[in-house]
Amino acid sequence: LAMSVLMGLVLAVTDYSHAPAPQGSADGPAPPPLPFGRLIAQPKFYVAAISTAATYTSMASLMAATPVRMAALGYPLADGATVIQFHVVAMYVPSLFSGDLVARLGPPSVIVCGYSLLLAGLLTYLAGPAYGVFVAAMVVIGVGWNLAFVGSTALLTGAFTGVDRLRASTAADAFAMFLLSVGVTTF
């Protein structure tokens, strides 16, 4: 929660008037930055920001709860740590190809694929308290998080240019951190 408040304050007080002027094109100069209210009112901003926030919140909630649940079921602490290690690898290894998927399929398709995997991971998670189930579920959730997050980020950054891209990204991150802090603390 503190991180989202801090990001919001930075966004509110940052003076973008000294930022480098947007580069024009052969068609003429770049448009001036959008007023902040209009920037966050863009439909692509909402879709991307909500998608990023939901992706982070769902993944982090399960990531935080899994070792606790495993310990409550009698698994050694080392087993919970190993499951999280597999999960973290599954979160970042797909980055080697997820950007190519976004370029080929487009951000919306990659987001849908990511959410499909998040749902499949959740259903796997609910299959039972076996060690293999925890590993499989958290690996699938990790890959799903990567695809949904990369797709959402690509959608957001593709919707804006110049300083607006930075401002939209900062606002979306602040929103995601706020929902993440609320989501994780309520589970």
Average pLDDT, integer, range 94-105: 97
- With CA atoms as reference, report the closest residue to 83 among 147, 133, 149: 133
Residue 17 has pLDDT above 60, yes or no: no
Closest CA to 171 of 58, 54, 37: 37
Q: What is the pLDDT of residue 186?
A: 56
Please report, rounded to a whole number, the percentage of residues in the chain having pLDDT higher than 90: 56
Top pLDDT among 31 and 11 is at: 31
Number of H helices, E strands in the chain: 8, 0
- Mean local confidence (pLDDT), 162-171: 88
Tell me the pTM: 0.82
36, two tokens? 């902040």
Strand partners, 25: 28
- Which tens digit of pLDDT belongs to each residue from 30-78? 778 888 889 989 998 988 999 988 888 888 889 999 999 999 999 999 9
Give the pLDDT confidence of 118-127 residue by residue, as tens digits.
Answer: 999 999 999 9
- In single-letter form, the type of residue at position 52 comes to T
